[in-house]
Each structure stands twice: as C-alpha cells, then as structure tokens.
Amino acid sequence: MSWFGFGFNAFGQICVQEKSVQEETSDAVGEVKVSVPVELRSHVDHSCCLKTCQIRASWSRRACLHESRCVWLAGFSASSISNDTRGCRDAIISESHLTLAFPDRIESWDVQRKDKTPLWSMEIIPQSESSGVNLPLVPGGYIASKPPIFRSLAPHLQAKSLALGGDHVILLTAPGAVYSWGLGSHGQLGHGGLVSEEEPRTVEALWGVPMSSVAAGGWHSVCISGGDLYVWGWNESGQLGLPSRGLQKAPQQKKAQPTELSDVSTPEEEPHDGDKHEEVFISIQAFPALLDVNPSSDFQRASCGSRHTAAVTTSGCLFTWGWGEYGQLGHQTFNSLDEPRRVEFFKAKDLHVVDVVCGPWNTFTAAVKKGVLDLKNT
Amino acid sequence: MESLWSKLSAALPINEEQFPLQFSDKVESSVVEMLTRSRHQLYSTTRSNNQTLYAQVVLDISWERLNTGTWRDVDKDWRRLYSYGCLFKVAALCRESPSEHEILQAVRTCDMGLLMGAAVMDNILQVFVRILQSEIRKTTKEETDYVEAKRMKIVVPRVPPIKEELAVERIKCPSLESFNTKYLVPLKPVILEGIIDHWPALNNRPWSLEYLRSVAGCRTVPVEVGSRYTDEDWSQTLLTINEFIDKYILEKVQDSQSGERAVGYLAQHQLFDQIPELKEDIRIPDYCCLGEGDEDDITVNAWFGPTGTVSPLHQDPQQNFLAQVVGSKYVRLYSPEDTDKLYPHQSQLLHNTSQVEVENPDSERFPKFVRAPYLECVLQPGDVLFIPVKHWHYVRSLDVSFSVSFWWS
C-alpha cells in the first residue's frame, strides 16, 4: 500500500526537494503547491512509508503511523520534535498539539515547545489488540484541537467516532445517530439555522438514517450512510459539492489568477437566482443535503479539509471537490470545483484507492495496485 | 525617475532586522515562519516566485482565522496578520515594473487590508495606497467620459408632498445653547440649515460623480445589494467606486436578463477612515460637543447610492446628525413612545427594525401602524437632520444621493 499526497506543501509536509545552493531557509522545502499527486517517501528509509498504516495532517505537518507502532513527523520543525513514540497505536495532530494513544495511556504534547513531559496525559486500562482508542475519542470524552485538551462526553451518547471541524464537532454514535455542537455561524451543525450550540444536539434531519462515518472540515460537515453522502455547512468554495456563486463554471474560462483574494461575504440562508443561467447558488446549507454524484457511486470513506472534501468509493475511486487553490483536489490544476470529480491520476495508474485523509489544505490517499488487490482477494 | 517600488520600499523599515513581527501566543509558530520567509524575501536581492505564493499563504490562513467565530471575537492579531499579508502581496505585485492592472490589484489589496485587517506599522497600507493612487493618476490619461452626466437616466422621483402639520421643524444656524435647550434635551427632531455651508464638499471641492471618481475611483468599498436589508435576497459585495457608479448609479452594465434593476447602496460605511482625502471635505458638526464622548468616539458613516435606496424603519442607540450633501432624501420619524405601534422584529438581530413597510403598510398585519403619529421631511443638500437617540427613522433617496451621518452620545 502506498500513500500519496497533494496540495499545500510550504513546509515540506508532502515532499521535499534537494537543498539547492540558493535556498536560504533552514527548513528544506519543495514546491509550495503540489498539484500532481506525489508518492510519499521518507528521507530516513525508502521502504518506511510503505509500512505506514495511517496518516494525520495539520496545517503545517504530517504524522505517519507505522505498522511498527511508531509515529513519524514531517513538515514544520518536524526534526526538532523528539518524542519516544514506540508502542503508539493512534495519533492526532493539530497545529499546536500532538496527541498519542499508547496501550496504557494517552499523551498530548505541545508541538511548538520542546517540553520533556506531555502537556496532558491520561491513564487508560490496556485494551486488547483489536479494540483500541479511536482518537480523538478517549475514555470519557475526547481530545480537542485547542485547550482545554480533554472534553468530557456523556456516556449515554455511546460515542463511536468523532470528527473535529474548524470550530465544531460531529459525533457518530453506536446506533448510527449524528450529534453536532460548537460554532454554527455557517450552518455547519446541520440544525437548520446559524445558531451555535454548547452541548451535543441531535441532527434531527438525519434521524432514522443510520450513518457509518462522519467527517468535519473548516465550516462544513459530511457523513455517509449506505454509500450515500450527506453534506451541510458553508459552500463558499463549493466544498459541499453544490453550485457555488464564487466559482466559474468552465475551468478553462477562468483566468490564471492564483493570487485572487478571498472576500468575507455575508452568509445567505436561502438560495437565490444566479446571473446568467437562472441557476440556484447555495452559499450556506443549514440542513443536511443528499449529494448527487455523477457517475453514481458507493462511498465508503470521506474526509474534509478546511474548505475541500474528498471521498473514496467502494470501487476504489477518489472524488474531490471544493477549494483547489493549492492543488489539494488532485486534478492537476489550481481550480476550485463545486461538483465532485474523480481524480483521474489513480485510475490512470491502475491504483485502487482505499483510504483518504485531508489536512486543512492538502489531501493524502492510500492506494494499492489493482493487481495486488486482485491477488489479495483470490 | 523614481520607480514605484523604490517609493514603496522607502516607506518600509530599512532592513529585515528593523521590520517588526510581534504576535501573541495565539499565532502559531508555523504561521510566524511564513511571515518570516515573506519578510526575508522582501529584503532579498534574489527575485523569487515564492514572494507572491508566501503572501497568498499568509492571506489565506489569516482569512480563515478571521472567519472563525463572530467578527467581534476575532483576535486582533489575526486582523494584523491579514494586513501583513496584504503588505507582502502589494510588494510582490509592485516589485518589477507592474502593469496598470497589477497596480489596481495592489490598490484593491490595500483596501482589503484596510477593510478587514488592523493597522500595522503605522498604518502602512494607508501610506501604500496613497503612493499607488498617485502612480495611477500619472499613468492613466484622464477619461473625458463625463458625458455620462448627460447619459444619466432622468428619473422623476416619487417626491411625497410634505404635510405642513407633520413637517419637521427647520432652524437656521442656532446657537449651541439654543439647540441644546430646544431640541437636544427634549429629544426633538429638527433640521439645521446653514451649518454645513462651509464644508468643502459643498463649496470649493463640490462632490459629484466625477469628483468622487477622481479622488477614489479605484478604491474598493462594500456595497449592499438588494431592495432593503430585511429582504431575503439582500447581500453585500465589494466593488471599486468606479464599478459601483457604473453599475448601480449610471446603470451602464445590464446584469440581469429579467430587466429588474437591483439596487446597490454604499451604506453605513466608515469611508472617511478608509479614504482620508474625502475626510478633508467634511467637518464634524460643532453641536456634537454637546455630547459626552470625545471626537474619537463619533462614528462617521457615508451613505451613497442611486434613486430608490431604502433604509427600513429602525432606531439607533446614539444621537444622529444626518447631513445631506448631494441629492435629496425623504425621511419619516416616529417617536420611541409609539414603539408599540411599530411592530419591531422579535429576533435579536433585527429587534431595532420595524416589520412595517412604511410607504406601503400592511394594515391587516399591522393595524396600529396607521395610527402612529409621525414627522416627515425632504432633505436637500445643505440640510442636517437631527435624529434624537432611539427615534425611529425611515429613509428613501429621491435621486442620486450622498449623505454623511454622525453618531454621537
């Protein structure tokens, strides 16, 4: 299984170039924007990355979880972080903290400082190999991206998995219900308004539809049920896969303006008429909407970046949509898209995509050669 | 001949060491690293494509932080960061013989920083925009396209006749004491005549479309689009003053197939902080000194738009002097004592706004409204309307209009 990365790379978190003579910066960097998916390599050991079983990404870093139960970091000041991570089962990384789950404890470290001891830790009863901690969920609660690190969760919620968005939280429960709380200013909670919630509140619109996974981005949320994708929140860059006013329809018509500034626009709750084709644009989707994808697909996994979304189908295709300014959509352009599009790179190389993890401005995918997959299945 | 870049860099600290980048702990070190790289490029002799890229990264990350939580809660450091991003972007645009398009982009960038950021390095974006504007005036030949004044549609405004018994009182140049005793203390509306005759905007630098274009045509401003802010299809957008005049005042650009003209209004914007040249053309009314606060506490807003802009009936928490500079406006006033007949919205966001359409009230939904007593007037250039605190007011422009409001306590 290989991992690929594309998108924001200003800190070398996807790939680094050989240091050239002119390069004056202390951090080795590659291109700032990677638009063609690149296979991840470790500068320590080439085969190392093939044994990566999970990736986590923050804005400036990437964390790889190895089969060997170690965590390797790449990106901003990665080399200066020297934690003993042997035995680590799971990890999550935010811009300020790295949280590691060991069989007997969970530790949260401040990645900006060189502390000898973790900022926060918690002992846990050693779990069996199969069941593990599902970060950011921990016994009794979850790990937040900013202090206070630990937040408690009521046991009656039966938390199964949790997705941390920019300023909101999406929770999937064992029976398949979805709860949300946090900032609601852009409809990201899915309760139909722009009101923020302090406590977990059921997303009633999804009641009765059992969800299998949830994901949260900067200001949007995604969940999957029976192969279908539900989306809600802010659609300013098309991250919901719904028509977005700010985007040009035909990529070739869009002038090369990579430095286009973003404007702060007032959110509109209702769709309203577009200029040319009487199209309805959606700026904010405050209730979950079922996403229509062409060609019709069965989704098994989704992940959200700050303003983009990526999803993997059961047949091994990767679809991406939303903000694409840094190449994070993988379509080898810097255009944003307001409708899901298959990433042809993987299909062209006969790669079957099995997993996707988004950093805020980049995307990482795990893929296996189609031949290998067939072999495995026989 | 000095290049544009040498003029801009003269406004910057002399070297990298003197260039301040101080932020609170809230700004992560990775973000500071991006700024440090940008600063380094600013002073580096080797030209790199990354200058534009790094500026974009700074702008994008600070934009995301600015959009987190409510505007009021946004940490000032993120707004400062956004301004730094604008600074670096302007530098990247203007480094090497910029085209006119690039200079205009740089002006827009400065405006974005002035509108959304917080002042850094002694408000350097204000310094930059002044240098950039003089560059534009040099390079572009003056467009003698002011035939547009004749091309303006002659619209016969629906001027409502003012009933004498309902007319707002008028008084010419009252003394401070007289104004205080007769109107401020009893909170009684009045139109003050003759008190802004000395404004350059009405005198030696009279405001007109041509004048505004020449002073600030390329500057980007926030514009409200939609009939009124209580409508569902109301939104805000950013346009240059040239674009705003072309599209919404002169209607040069037909934007909708259906023929329905959308109303655009440069409303409630502190334009004079953004464009100090225009601030020189107005004065704070002397009567504001009767209030408690400092001059710094007075909020000055610009209201510039075509015929038919409507501000729905609403009340404000401060005293207001509404000065009419160009064009005329119909204003109706209701006393706070009659609030019960005005059906304010229940929601927190709009509780200071009435649900009633003043010139077309729904008497079934709002039966008490027709019995509410009111005062009305038509403001002409040179008039200043005193709207006492919490007094409900409704405003409709009768032609192309520019008003300046002063909120004071």
* pLDDT at residue B262 tops 90: no
Q: What are phi and psi of A163, to 5 degrees?
A: -120, 130
Amino acid A377: pLDDT: 58
Q: With contacts defined as CB-CB under 8 Å, which chain B residues touch A265? A: 235-237
Amino acid A49: pLDDT: 59
Predicted confidence (pLDDT) per residue in B226-249, tens digit? 877 777 778 889 999 999 999 999
Distant-in-sequence, close-in-space partners of B128: CB < 8 Å, separation ≥ 6: B8, B11, B87, B90, B106, B110
Of these ranges, A13-27, A112-126, B106-120, the one predicted with the greatest mean pLDDT is B106-120
* pLDDT at residue A262 tops 60: no
More confident residue, A245 or B18: B18
Strand partners, A302: A311
Q: State the fold for domain B164-408.
A: Jelly Rolls (2.60.120)
- CA distances, B124 to each of A173, B11, B220, B339, B393 (Å): 52, 8, 17, 46, 39
Asked if B195 and B385 count as a contact pair (C-beta separation under 8 A), the reply is no
What secondary structure does DSSP assign to A215-272, as a single string? EE-SSEEEEEETTEEEEEEE-TTSTTSS--TTS-SSGGGS---TTPPP------SS-E
* pLDDT at residue A335 tops 90: yes
Asked if B286 and B179 count as a contact pair (C-beta separation under 8 A), the reply is no
Which of B46, B52, B64 minimises the CB distance to A259? Answer: B52
Amino acid A265: pLDDT: 34
Residues of A with CB under 8 A from a CB of B: 8, 10-11, 22, 24-25, 27, 32-33, 59-61, 76-77, 95-96, 112, 166-167, 183, 185, 218-219, 258-259, 261-266, 268-270, 272-273, 275, 306-307, 325, 360-361
Closest listed residue to residue B347, CA positions, set A212, A193, A375, A170: A193
Q: Among A203-217, A235-249, B168-182, where is mean pLDDT lowest?
A: A235-249
Q: Where are the domains of chain B?
A: 4-142, 164-408
Q: Is there a contact between A11 and B30 if contact means CB atoms under 8 Å apart? A: yes
pLDDT band at A340 (very low <50, low <70, confident <90, very high): very high
- B115/B5 Cα distance (integer angstroms): 24
- CA distances, B141 to each of A149, B128, B261, B392, B402 (Å): 60, 21, 32, 47, 27
Asked if A305 and A363 count as a contact pair (C-beta separation under 8 A), the reply is yes
Distant-in-sequence, close-in-space partners of B281: CB < 8 Å, separation ≥ 6: B199, B200, B201, B205, B207
Amino acid A81: pLDDT: 63
Distant-in-sequence, close-in-space partners of B262: CB < 8 Å, separation ≥ 6: B225, B226, B248, B255, B256
Q: What is the average pLDDT score of chain A?
A: 84
What percent of chain A clears pLDDT 90, i.e. is strictly above it? Answer: 60
pLDDT band at A303 (very low <50, low <70, confident <90, very high): very high
* pLDDT at residue B72 tops 90: no
Q: Is there a contact between B54 and A263 if contact means CB atoms under 8 Å apart? A: no
Amino acid A28: pLDDT: 41
Predicted confidence (pLDDT) per residue in B218-228, tens digit? 999 999 998 77
Asked if B342 and B334 count as a contact pair (C-beta separation under 8 A), the reply is yes
pLDDT band at A41 (very low <50, low <70, confident <90, very high): confident
* pLDDT at residue A35 tops 60: yes
Q: Is there a contact between A167 and B69 if contact means CB atoms under 8 Å apart? A: yes
A122: tokens are: 């918690």
- A359/A306 Cα distance (integer angstroms): 8
> What single-letter amino acid sits at B339?
T
Residues of B with CB under 8 A from a CB of A: 28-30, 33-34, 37, 40, 44, 46, 50, 52-57, 59-61, 63-64, 66-70, 89, 92-93, 105, 108-109, 112, 116, 232-233, 235-238, 255-256
Amino acid B47: pLDDT: 72
* pLDDT at residue A252 tops 60: no
Closest listed residue to residue A36, CA positions, set A360, A365, A335, A330: A330
Asked if B84 and B35 count as a contact pair (C-beta separation under 8 A), the reply is yes
Which of B33, B63, B70 minimises the CB distance to A76? Answer: B33
Q: Which residue of B has its CA nearest to A11?
A: B30
- B217/B250 Cα distance (integer angstroms): 14
Q: With contacts defined as CB-CB under 8 Å, which chain B residues touch A33? A: 53
Asked if A62 and A75 count as a contact pair (C-beta separation under 8 A), the reply is yes
Q: Is there a contact between B30 and A60 if contact means CB atoms under 8 Å apart? A: yes
Predicted confidence (pLDDT) per residue in A309-321, tens digit? 999 999 999 999 9
Amino acid B251: pLDDT: 78
A15: tokens are: 């790939």
What percent of chain B clears pLDDT 70, i.e. is strictly above it? Answer: 92
Q: Is there a contact between A24 and B44 if contact means CB atoms under 8 Å apart? A: yes
- B7/B380 Cα distance (integer angstroms): 43
Q: With contacts defined as CB-CB under 8 Å, which chain A residues touch B93? A: 259
Mind telling me how many Å the CA of A347 is from chain B's nearest CA? 30
B101: tokens are: 């398009």
Mean pLDDT for the stretch of residues B4-13 = 94
DSSP annotation of B344 reads B
Mind telling me how many Å the CA of A364 is from chain B's nearest CA? 20
Q: Is there a contact between A263 and B33 if contact means CB atoms under 8 Å apart? A: no
Locate all alpha helices (DSSP H) within B46-99, ordered by sequence. Answer: 50-66, 76-94
Peptide bond into A295 cis (omega under 30): yes
Amino acid B360: pLDDT: 94
More confident residue, A205 or B262: A205
Predicted confidence (pLDDT) per residue in B340-386, tens digit? 999 999 887 789 999 999 999 999 999 999 999 999 999 999 999 99
Give the distance from CA A47 to its chain's centroid. Answer: 25
pLDDT band at A127 (very low <50, low <70, confident <90, very high): low
Strand partners, B221: B239
* pLDDT at residue B400 tops 80: yes
**B contact test, residue of A21, A58, A259, A361 with most B CBs within 10 A:** A259
Which of B34, B68, B237 minimises the CB distance to A167? Answer: B68
Asked if A185 and A267 count as a contact pair (C-beta separation under 8 A), the reply is yes
Q: Is there a contact between B53 and A32 if contact means CB atoms under 8 Å apart? A: yes
Locate tokens 């982009």: which residue?
A: B105
| Secondary structure (3-state) at A60 | coil
Which of A10, A112, A273 minimises the CB distance to B28? Answer: A112
- A222/A264 Cα distance (integer angstroms): 23
**B contact test, residue of A24, A164, A185, A264 with most B CBs within 10 A:** A264
Q: Which H helix or E strand runs over B176? A: helix B176-179
Amino acid A277: pLDDT: 45
- Burial per residue of B199-222, b for 16 or more beta-carbon CB atoms within 10 angstroms, e otherwise: bebbeeeebebbbbbebbbbbbbb
Mind telling me how many Å the CA of B115 is from chain A's nearest CA? 10
* Angle between helical axes of B100-116 and B76-94 (0-180°, round to 10): 170
Q: Which residue of B has its CA nearest to A219?
A: B68
More confident residue, A82 or B27: B27
Mean pLDDT for the stretch of residues B49-60 = 92
What percent of chain A clears pLDDT 70, i.e. is strictly above it? Answer: 81
* pLDDT at residue A273 tops 80: no
Q: With contacts defined as CB-CB under 8 Å, which chain A residues touch B236? A: 265-266
Q: With contacts defined as CB-CB under 8 Å, which chain A residues touch B60? A: 262, 325, 361
Amino acid A128: pLDDT: 61
A231 Rama sector, left if φ>0, alpha if ψ -120 to 50, beta otherwise: beta
Q: With contacts defined as CB-CB under 8 Å, which chain A residues touch B233? A: 268, 270, 272-273
- CA distances, A136 to each of A3, A169, A312, B332 (Å): 22, 11, 22, 58
Mean pLDDT for the stretch of residues B292-318 = 94
Q: Is there a contact between B116 and A32 if contact means CB atoms under 8 Å apart? A: no
Q: What is the average pLDDT score of chain B?
A: 90
pLDDT band at A132 (very low <50, low <70, confident <90, very high): low
| Exposed / middle / buried, residue B291 (Cβ in 10 Å: 0-12, 13-18, 19+) | middle
- B63/A263 Cα distance (integer angstroms): 8
Peptide bond into A136 cis (omega under 30): yes
Amino acid A22: pLDDT: 45
Mean pLDDT for the stretch of residues A340-353 = 95
Amino acid A130: pLDDT: 47
Amino acid A114: pLDDT: 76
Q: Which H helix or E strand runs over B333? A: strand B329-334
Amino acid A131: pLDDT: 53
Q: Is there a contact between A183 and B68 if contact means CB atoms under 8 Å apart? A: yes
Whole-model pTM: value is 0.87
| Exposed / middle / buried, residue A374 (Cβ in 10 Å: 0-12, 13-18, 19+) | exposed
Asked if B215 and B277 count as a contact pair (C-beta separation under 8 A), the reply is yes
Predicted confidence (pLDDT) per residue in B102-135, tens digit? 999 999 999 999 999 999 999 999 999 999 999 9
Asked if B215 and B278 count as a contact pair (C-beta separation under 8 A), the reply is yes
Amino acid A30: pLDDT: 64
Closest listed residue to residue A321, CA positions, set A90, A262, B43, A307: A307
